[in-house]
Amino acid sequence: MRFSPIIAATAILLATPAFAQAPEMPGQPEAARVAAGTYKVDPHHTQAVWSVDHMGFSTLYGMFGEMSGTLTLDPANLSAAKLAIDIPLSGLTVTSSDFATHLASADFFEVEKYPTGRFVSTSVVADGTKATITGDLTLKGVTKPVVLEAELMGAGANPMSQAQTVGFTATSTIKRSDFNLGYAVPVVSDEVKLKITAAFEREAN
């Protein structure tokens, strides 16, 4: 059997130590790596992505970024954790500028009058690397309870900033109409699916 030079070269590369064992990522999903303290949102690596069914033709996505806020936690008492996040609604990213302008109007977020959304936790129930976070979400002047199903993505020291860092993913489902955002319901779904990726860096003592 004859092997091509490309196959032979690939086999050699895969056999080298650098390819045989991938380097460990700085963040690992281990609760024991989480350091107690107060953390600030890393605005560059935190995002909330939402999706709705648009008339049965497509699933539309949007993303909020540039968030701020704090997370206070102690691995020995996770039920006492506190989370508060501010969401600048003007930072919404969508498929086109015209769509962004409509979403900023009074039909939807009315950003000029209500420039910021906010989530504040009221309870945390932790189980290993997973947690159910209940809190109050405020959008367009309306506050409603929301439940986030969260999971630790990774914890450890950030090799660039040297800061102790924790990262989580979370999901939830809310109804637009609960927050006076029900324009075009039901042909555009009332149900909004949320997927959140959040990173936090511990404040220096």
CA–CA distance, 168 with 173 (Å, rounded to integer): 17
187, 28 in Cβ contact below 8 A? no
CA–CA distance, 139 with 192 (Å, rounded to integer): 14
- In DSSP notation, 46-82 reads -EEEEEEEETTTEEEEEEE---EEEEEE-GGGGGG-E
Q: For position 19, what pLDDT does the model report?
A: 45
Closest CA to 131 of 121, 143, 141: 121
Positive or negative torsion for Cα 36, 39, 42, 43: positive
- pLDDT by 10-residue block (mean), the chain, 205 residues: 52 50 82 94 97 97 97 93 96 94 97 97 95 98 98 95 96 98 97 98 87
- In DSSP notation, 96-126 reads -HHHHHHHHSTTTT-TTT--EEEEEEEEEEE
Q: For position 121, what pLDDT does the model report?
A: 98
Residue 153 three-state SS:
strand
Q: For position 85, what pLDDT does the model report?
A: 98
Q: For position 8, what pLDDT does the model report?
A: 52
198, 167 in Cβ contact below 8 A? yes
| CA geometry: angle 162, 164, 170, nearest 5 deg | 130
CA–CA distance, 36 with 158 (Å, rounded to integer): 16
Please state whether the predicted TM-score (pTM) of the whole model is above 0.75: yes
State which amino acid sits at residue 50: W
**What residue spans define the domains of the chain?**
26-202
> Beta-carbon neighbour count of residue 173 at 10 Å?
11
- Alpha-helical (H) ranges within 73-186 are 97-104
Q: Which CATH architecture has domain 26-202?
A: Beta Barrel (2.40)
22, 183 in Cβ contact below 8 A? no
109, 103 in Cβ contact below 8 A? yes
129, 29 in Cβ contact below 8 A? yes
